[in-house]
């Protein structure tokens, strides 16, 4: 489920699947301390400004032994000092007063970006088992409802609206579809809840954590005069990241459309099939609906970029280059390999065994432009797709809202059954551009590099995704015919992707880290140094 608020800021990730721990060697020097190997008699201690190598502290785990709990925190400290993009801005605190989780939450910069927002909003952890399940299959507990929360902390104006559902889910089976407003949850009014007990009921209903949980929703379907009640049972939902592939026949040619919700492993086959269909149809243009795509596998964004642009535009060109902190100008601190840029990938990588064989050549559309539908939920690998295409002079027309602004990434790194995510690199395209931490902004008259030619428009929850009357898709088709925005387009003033929501009062928020993985940028080790 998606919840867009300052309490659930999307994350940017780079991952090396299968890494057992941080591969960096840690800080070295005459003032460093080295604890003994596991089983030694001396427990490592914290000394301000002195750091053991993270490798020497890794995977020494026991919740029942104080010394090893300290070792977990010291591993986090050394790993962060070694690989965190802004390591010099971390305050070196004594870990003793904090739990492992609390201490990790402190190992980040407190500095602000140029726009005055926090520089790092992308810091989290989850159990390693949970991460593996989510990343490989997109599986999570829920009802198959994806929704938008408006004014989450203001009870008088609070509103929860369904944005789309997953096929073959409790939501789709009960016809809970786009545009439906959730009025009550287990008898508690969404709009009127103003105490912690009521908010807890709403959050528990919106974000179930266990299979079998039953929740009663009162909903107002789009266009309905009366409410109806439906009881949904939570189950493990495997998302369908590629939906609604279609060809739209216009008087000036064929336009391909596809809804792409997440760069997860199962999307590789979905994208392969969708682009094959559109290629065979001979589409003249493409509209990619990324409005709810928080990111995922960076290599998949590279594959999609290749399938859009084709061989001639992408051969020997860079999709994205990663820059790490100043300790590692030429070497990846996690893989210990020399830094090399990610190319536009022209073949399947076999992300999900059995769905598409590794090495299969990818279909191409050979387009010179692409229309991208965006909101504040368009993040990370989705932004990398836009940036990578712009880097090789593919015209990107942006229709919708300002994206979330995540040019950063991490390698999910496991230690003691928990996987940690801390910003470790910044991505730039073939032209060396990556300055979009406040998001890509659609503009009729771009003046900044992060402003993209296009139309600023609000999401339209009154029409189905893929409906040619839906505001964003309709605007893309209009722009294609007229080289300008329709009159309903709003001003091009820059707006923060997160500023719409106020962090005060009683706030609906998803406390589960499992939803945060969706808004990320992931690097895989499937193809070596990619």
- Establish if 163 belongs to a structural domain: yes
Range of the domain at 143: 139-238
CATH code for the domain in which residue 153 is found: 2.30.42.10
- Would you tell me how many other CB atoms lie within 10 Å of the CB of residue 114? 9
pLDDT at position 529, please? 25
Phi, psi of 379 (to 5 degrees): -135, 160
Instruction: Label residue 194 by pLDDT band (50, 70, 90).
Output: confident
- Establish if 92 belongs to a structural domain: no
**264 and 397 fall within a common domain:** yes
Mean local confidence (pLDDT), 251-270: 93
**316 and 179 fall within a common domain:** no
pLDDT at position 149, please? 85
- Establish if 39 belongs to a structural domain: no
**229 and 331 fall within a common domain:** no
Q: Are 374 and 400 in contact (CB under 8 A)?
A: yes
Sign of CA dihedral 145, 149, 154, 158: negative
pLDDT at position 521, please? 54
Percent with pLDDT over 70 in the chain:
80
pLDDT at position 15, please? 33
CA–CA dist 297, 241 (Å, integer)? 12
Q: Are 436 and 428 in contact (CB under 8 A)?
A: no
For every residue of 437-494, DSSP letters joined together read TT--EEESS--STTEEEEEE----TTS-TT-TTSHHHHHHHHHHHHSS--TT-B----
Mean local confidence (pLDDT), 253-266: 94
**145 and 284 fall within a common domain:** no
Domain boundary among 238, 262, 286: 238
Predicted confidence (pLDDT) at residue 482 exceeds the cutoff of 60: yes
Instruction: Give the closest residue to 291 by CA, choosing from 316, 254, 258, 331.
Output: 258
Q: Are 104 and 76 in contact (CB under 8 A)?
A: yes
CATH code for the domain in which residue 316 is found: 3.90.226.10
Tens digits of residue pLDDT in 32-52: 333 444 444 457 899 999 999
**232 and 250 fall within a common domain:** no
- Establish if 214 belongs to a structural domain: yes
Mean local confidence (pLDDT), 292-302: 91
CA–CA dist 57, 61 (Å, integer)? 10
pLDDT at position 468, please? 97
Mean local confidence (pLDDT), 144-170: 85
- Establish if 48 belongs to a structural domain: no
The count of domains in the chain is 2
**330 and 439 fall within a common domain:** yes
**165 and 305 fall within a common domain:** no
Lowest mean pLDDT among 15-24, 319-328, 365-374: 15-24
Spatial CB neighbours of 22, under 8 Å, sequence gap ≥ 6: 54, 55, 58, 79, 82, 83, 333, 334, 411, 413, 415
Predicted confidence (pLDDT) at residue 219 exceeds the cutoff of 50: yes
Lowest mean pLDDT among 160-174, 301-315, 349-363: 349-363
pLDDT at position 516, please? 47
Tens digits of residue pLDDT in 101-111: 999 999 999 99
Tens digits of residue pLDDT in 398-440: 999 999 998 988 888 999 999 999 999 999 999 999 999 889 9
């Amino acid at each position: 489920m998606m919840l867009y608020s300052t309490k659930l800021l999307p994350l940017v990730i780079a991952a090396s699947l299968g890494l057992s721990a941080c591969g960096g060697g840690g800080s070295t020097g005459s003032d460093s301390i080295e604890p003994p190997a596991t089983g030694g008699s001396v427990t490592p201690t914290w000394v301000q400004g002195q750091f053991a190598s993270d490798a020497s502290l890794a995977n020494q785990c026991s919740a029942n032994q104080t010394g090893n709990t300290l070792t977990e925190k010291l591993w986090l400290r050394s790993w962060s000092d070694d690989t965190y993009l802004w390591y010099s801005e971390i305050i070196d605190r004594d870990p003793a007063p904090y739990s492992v989780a609390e201490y990790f939450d402190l190992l980040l910069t407190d500095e602000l970006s140029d726009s005055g927002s926090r520089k790092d909003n992308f810091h989290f952890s989850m159990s390693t088992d949970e991460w593996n399940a989510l990343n490989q299959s997109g599986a999570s507990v829920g009802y198959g409802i994806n929704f938008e929360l408006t004014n989450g902390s203001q009870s008088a104006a609070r509103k929860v609206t369904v944005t789309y559902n997953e096929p073959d889910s409790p939501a789709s089976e009960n016809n809970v579809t786009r545009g439906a407003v959730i009025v009550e949850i287990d008898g508690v009014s969404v709009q009127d809840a103003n105490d912690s007990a009521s908010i807890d009921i709403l959050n528990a209903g919106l974000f179930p954590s266990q299979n079998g949980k039953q929740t009663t929703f009162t909903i107002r379907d789009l266009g309905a005069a009366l409410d109806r009640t439906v009881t949904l049972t939570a189950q493990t939902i495997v998302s369908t990241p590629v939906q609604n592939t279609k060809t739209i026949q216009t008087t000036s040619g064929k336009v391909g459309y596809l809804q792409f919700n997440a760069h997860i492993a199962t999307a590789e086959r979905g994208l392969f099939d969708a682009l094959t269909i559109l290629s065979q149809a001979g589409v003249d243009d493409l509209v990619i609906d990324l409005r709810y795509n928080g990111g995922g596998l960076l290599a998949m964004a590279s594959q999609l970029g290749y399938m859009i642009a084709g061989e001639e535009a992408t051969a020997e060109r860079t999709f994205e280059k990663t820059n790490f902190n100043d300790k590692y100008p030429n070497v990846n601190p996690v893989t210990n390999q020399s830094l090399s840029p990610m190319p536009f990938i022209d073949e399947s990588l076999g992300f999900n065994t059995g769905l598409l064989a590794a090495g299969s050549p990818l279909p191409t559309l050979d387009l010179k432009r692409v229309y991208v539908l965006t909101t504040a939920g368009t993040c990370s690998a989705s932004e990398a797709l836009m940036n990578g295409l712009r880097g090789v002079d593919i015209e990107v027309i942006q229709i919708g809202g300002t994206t979330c602004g995540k040019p950063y990434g991490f390698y999910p790194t496991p230690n003691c059954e928990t996987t940690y995510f801390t910003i470790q690199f910044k991505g730039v395209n073939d032209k060396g551009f990556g300055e979009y931490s406040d998001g890509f902004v659609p503009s009729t008259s771009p003046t900044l590099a992060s402003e993209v030619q296009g139309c600023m428009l609000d999401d339209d929850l009154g029409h189905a995704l893929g409906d040619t009357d839906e505001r964003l898709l309709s605007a893309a088709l209009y722009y294609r015919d007229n080289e300008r925005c329709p009159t309903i387009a709003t001003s091009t003033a820059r707006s923060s992707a997160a500023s719409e929501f106020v962090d005060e009062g009683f706030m609906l928020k998803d406390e589960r880290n499992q939803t945060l993985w969706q808004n990320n940028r992931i690097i895989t080790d499937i193809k070596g140094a990619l």
